[in-house]
Amino acid sequence: MERTFAIIKPDAVERKLAGKILDRIEANGFNIVGMKKIKLSKCQAEGFYYVHKERPFFNDLCTFMSRSPVIVLCLEKENAIADWRTLMGATNPANAEPGTIRKDFAVNIEENSSHGSDAPETAAFEIPYFFSALELV
């Protein structure tokens, strides 16, 4: 079994799409081993996205991610990282495959409804950023 990290982003939570996204997660064989709704501070968003701090979109991304609540998840299944990335679809919803979360729910490339770890090393940082070991069941 492999674990990955996921976020249902502010744009999707604001539009009350979390239930539909959670349905897709479970329908695609993922076990939700951790889940909570939180409101990130700008500082917490900056810490989470620190790898992008030199990128021109960093400030806008952190402002967006801290504007309203998100749902953070730890997902588990065989090939969880790759499978979650496939289910999310391309970062730019205009390039995403039909039936993916971003194609069906994203507003645009900035407000693309979901986040997911892109590698085991990323998941190893992202999961404990939000969850203690006791919160993963």
Active site residues: 115
* Beta-bridge mates of residue 75: 4, 32
CB 39 within 8 A of CB 97: no
Task: Write out the two tokens for 64.
Answer: 């967006």
d(CA 98, CA 94): 10
With H, G, I as helix, E, B as strand and everything else as coil, classify residue 17. coil
